Amino acid sequence: MTLLECINGPEDLKILSQDQLTRLAGEIRDVLVDTVTKTSGHLGPNLGVVELTIAIHRVFDSPRDRIVFDTGHQAYVHKLLTGRLARFGTLRQRGGLTGYPSRAESEHDMVENSHASTSLSYADGLAKAYKLRGEPDRTVVAVIGDGALTGGMAWEALNNIAAARDSRLIMIVNDNGWSYQPTIGGLAEHLAAIRVNPRYEHVLDYIKTTLPRAPLVGAPLYGTLHGIKKGIKDVLQPQVMFEDLGLKYVGPIDGHDERQVETALRRARDFGGPVLLHVITRKGFGYPAAEQNEIDCLHQVPGPSSAAPGTWSRVFGDEMLAIGARRPDVVAITAAMLYPTGLAQFAAAFPDRVYDVGIAEQHAVTSAAGLAMGGLHPVVAIYSTFLNRAFDQTLMDVGLHRLPVTFVLDRAGVTGPDGASHHGMWDGSLMQLVPGMKIAAPRDAKRVAELLNQAVEVSDGPTVVRFPKGNVGGEVEAVAKLGGMDVLREPGEDRDVLLVGVGPMALTGLEVAGRLTGHGIGVTVVDPRWTKPVDEALIGAARRHRLVAVVEDNGRVGGFGDAVARLLRDHDVDVPVKTFGLPQEFLAHGTREEVLEEAGLTAQQLALRITEAVARRTPASPASSASPASPASPASSAGASSAEDQDTPEPRPVE
């Protein structure tokens, strides 16, 4: 039996000797490599925090003392030390352990949100709550990486933590010089300087022993220099930025020396107020394949997180490169996602036209607004779920000024094993709220290129191009046009269902149509291409069918389906609308196929539900199907402020 197999909880760590701890660290790394290379997941970050996590659990008493992991992708070691070894092989599998902390899994897990830069705010609130509840012996530990520390929210929290001088709060900065890729920006340069510069005391000692020997000016000059001691620290030890906030700073220390980390943590715990402990670690430590990986130290496996050929991200990256070659005004912005979003080629070709702002989505969007005001056309490439963090900036800084900014939202819709906080199921609804926004959803690789080129040609407002994670499917050409939309399939004489499929769900719509045809149901399949504004050609098309079905890989509430239903209501189209999308819930992890099946969005499930809906309707009479369009009310775009904001009504039962 291994040592790790004997660890049922943190209390078992406290009786181990130093030699046993070293052996345990090796066993943990073996399990990480063996498991994560099979299940997929975040390997490099967890290899780098083995000793740090062991030390945390030896010093603090979880769950009474609360441990908050920023982002949470580095919590695998924590899972192994809190009784989850037996289930670790189910990591990121449907029904298995999540890739992030989970309150449903363990009482030792506190925060599930895997968006960065939030841990210090959680910890600030927890520490204040324990004080008010009369529990002054409870300590809160926040583990935040140097990448997450570049986020503005972290600094807002630091500003408030510094004012709470008696909060029992330990902030551990896990500094490995990386987030997804190498951490960038001024803060990163400061932290890098700490790793290599001599301690300021050495310089001060030299000044103190040397300058007084100089006649007349020596002593006065030393006194002056001593008075600006802080200035010397600014130059040689940039941790002064934390001390100037009023925070006790400890470090930097070697994060792979468990004994040293443990000693520092005990001192920080006993201080009685907020302490920032600066720990230097190496991402991928102990596994040569990760340490030597130049792209991201095996941040996530399988493979590097750069956009592989055949993926949606790579298709975008290839077209972005072509656009950049002929459009010198097009620039790219990303938030620590240069490789995953497919911008690596663009960056190599046009290094002066790429801005990686670090984990700072809000800044990215407003900086893009400034670039657009300056005469450029910025393309902001980030994951769909992370645009949630910058909605206000998208609405008020970009939308209000009708600026030509293109948002490319990778990982839109169901993303799979990363779970609830990574599903890109919100943007299709949030972006519908932005006046003047145009939203494109390509169904295949060719449409990515077409719609991206159309988006960057828009000069009077913002645009969105959204696509899912993974490999692009086969290409499907249109058989006809309906306004600006693509008709992918037309029925024979019977026009029973107008099926509108958004993005890749249009291809699912073709499968549905094939199944329904076998049941004698005529289906027209349409890819809208642009989901905002809604193409008004749908009005006439809806009148020619008995049922409208909208299928989208987005939350049902406020999405494209609701916009279609609203458009038809505004024009008095008396045809029922069925909207099929993701339930407005936090969806568990699993493969994309598993999550879509549970949401009822497979071709087989959709065909059954649409068949049932058609069966509940009386056949349309020839007179009604041929009747002229009723007088239209004033045109209403999907984003109009006067539009109703409600769920699509369920189908009316047959009388």
For residues 344 and 382, membership in a common domain is answered with yes
What integer is the mean pLDDT of 442-454? 97
Q: What is the pLDDT of residues 466-519, one digit of tens each?
A: 999 989 988 999 999 999 999 999 998 889 999 999 999 999 999 999 999 988
What integer is the mean pLDDT of 237-254? 76
Asked whether residue 500 is domain-assigned, the answer is yes
For residues 166 and 42, membership in a common domain is answered with yes
For residues 250 and 231, membership in a common domain is answered with no
Q: 210 versus 57: which is more confidently predicted?
A: 57
Greatest pairwise CA separation for the chain in angstroms: 110
**Is residue 639 predicted with pLDDT exceeding 60?**
no
What integer is the mean pLDDT of 314-339? 96
The residue annotated as part of the active site, out of 168, 283, 443, 469, is 283
Asked whether residue 420 is domain-assigned, the answer is yes
Structure tokens, 292? 């030597």
Decide if 4 contacts 28 (C-beta within 8 A). yes
Decide if 54 contacts 112 (C-beta within 8 A). no
Please state, in angstroms and rounded to a whole number, the distance separating the CA atoms of residues 74 and 28. 13
For residues 247 and 272, membership in a common domain is answered with yes
What integer is the mean pLDDT of 573-600? 92
Structural domain tally of the chain?
4
For residues 56 and 180, membership in a common domain is answered with yes
Asked whether residue 440 is domain-assigned, the answer is yes
Please state, in angstroms and rounded to a whole number, the distance separating the CA atoms of residues 143 and 67. 8
How confident is residue 293, by pLDDT bands cut at 50, 70 and 90?
Answer: low
Last residue of a domain, one of 405, 431, 466: 466
**Is residue 31 predicted with pLDDT exceeding 50?**
yes
Task: Provide the pLDDT for residue 619.
Answer: 56
Task: Provide the pLDDT for residue 302.
Answer: 59
Q: How many CA atoms lie within 13 A of 212 on its CB side?
A: 7
The residue annotated as part of the active site, out of 233, 389, 438, 532, is 389
How confident is residue 211, by pLDDT bands cut at 50, 70 and 90?
Answer: very low
Q: 474 versus 215: which is more confidently predicted?
A: 474
- For residue 210, give the amino acid letter: T
Predicted TM-score (pTM) of this structure:
0.79
For residues 267 and 282, membership in a common domain is answered with yes
Instruction: Give helix 50-59 / helix 18-39 axis angle, nearest 10°.
Output: 130
How confident is residue 527, by pLDDT bands cut at 50, 70 and 90?
Answer: very high
What integer is the mean pLDDT of 355-380? 95
Long-range contacts of 5-13 (CB under 8 A, 24+ apart): 5/85, 7/80, 7/81, 7/83, 7/85, 8/83, 9/81, 9/82, 9/83, 10/57, 10/58, 10/61, 10/62, 10/81, 10/82, 10/108, 13/54, 13/57, 13/58, 13/81
The residue annotated as part of the active site, out of 66, 361, 495, 546, is 361
Task: Provide the pLDDT for residue 406.
Answer: 98
Extract the runs of DSSP E, i.e. beta strands, from 75-150.
140-145
What integer is the mean pLDDT of 123-140? 94
Q: 649 versus 531: which is more confidently predicted?
A: 531
For residues 457 and 491, membership in a common domain is answered with no
Q: 463 versus 208: which is more confidently predicted?
A: 463
In 3D space, the residue among 430, 443, 458 whose CA is nearest the CA of residue 563 turns out to be: 430
38 labelled catalytic: no
Task: Provide the pLDDT for residue 607.
Answer: 95
The string of DSSP letters for 443-484 reads SSHHHHHHHHHHHHH--SS-EEEE--SSB-------SEEETT
In 3D space, the residue among 14, 2, 92, 11 whose CA is nearest the CA of residue 46 turns out to be: 92
List 482's β-bridge partners, or say none: 485
Structure tokens, 130? 């324990």
For residues 193 and 204, membership in a common domain is answered with no
269 labelled catalytic: no
Angle at 568 between CA 655 and CA 462, to 5 degrees: 150
Q: 218 versus 112: which is more confidently predicted?
A: 112
What integer is the mean pLDDT of 436-457? 97
Please state, in angstroms and rounded to a whole number, the distance separating the CA atoms of residues 276 and 249. 5
Task: Provide the pLDDT for residue 403.
Answer: 98
Q: 48 versus 113: which is more confidently predicted?
A: 48
Last residue of a domain, one of 433, 466, 499: 466
**Is residue 624 predicted with pLDDT exceeding 70?**
no
The domain that contains 17 carries what CATH number? 3.40.50.970
Asked whether residue 498 is domain-assigned, the answer is yes
What integer is the mean pLDDT of 278-286? 86
The domain that contains 598 carries what CATH number? 3.40.50.920
Range of the domain at 231: 198-236
What integer is the mean pLDDT of 72-94? 93
Q: Which of 164-173, 286-295, 325-334, 517-526 is predicted with the least confidence, judged by mean pLDDT?
A: 286-295
For residues 242 and 168, membership in a common domain is answered with yes
Task: Provide the pLDDT for residue 422.
Answer: 85
Task: Provide the pLDDT for residue 476.
Answer: 95
Please state, in angstroms and rounded to a whole number, the distance separating the CA atoms of residues 504 and 473. 8
Is the four-CA dihedral 551, 557, 560, 562 of positive or negative sign?
Answer: positive
For residues 363 and 384, membership in a common domain is answered with yes
For residues 8 and 148, membership in a common domain is answered with yes
389 labelled catalytic: yes
Task: Provide the pLDDT for residue 632.
Answer: 35
Torsion of CA 300, 316, 333, 377, to 10 degrees: -170
Q: What is the pLDDT of residues 395-421, one digit of tens each?
A: 999 999 999 999 999 999 998 788 788
Is the four-CA dihedral 385, 387, 390, 395 of positive or negative sign?
Answer: negative
For residues 137 and 209, membership in a common domain is answered with no
Task: Provide the pLDDT for residue 150.
Answer: 80
Extract the runs of DSSP E, i.e. beta strands, from 536-652.
547-555, 577-582
Q: CB burial class (10 A; 0-12, 13-18, 19+) of residue 306?
A: buried
Task: Provide the pLDDT for residue 341.
Answer: 93
Where do runs of H (alpha helix) occur along 197-303? 200-210, 218-227, 229-236, 240-244, 258-271, 288-291
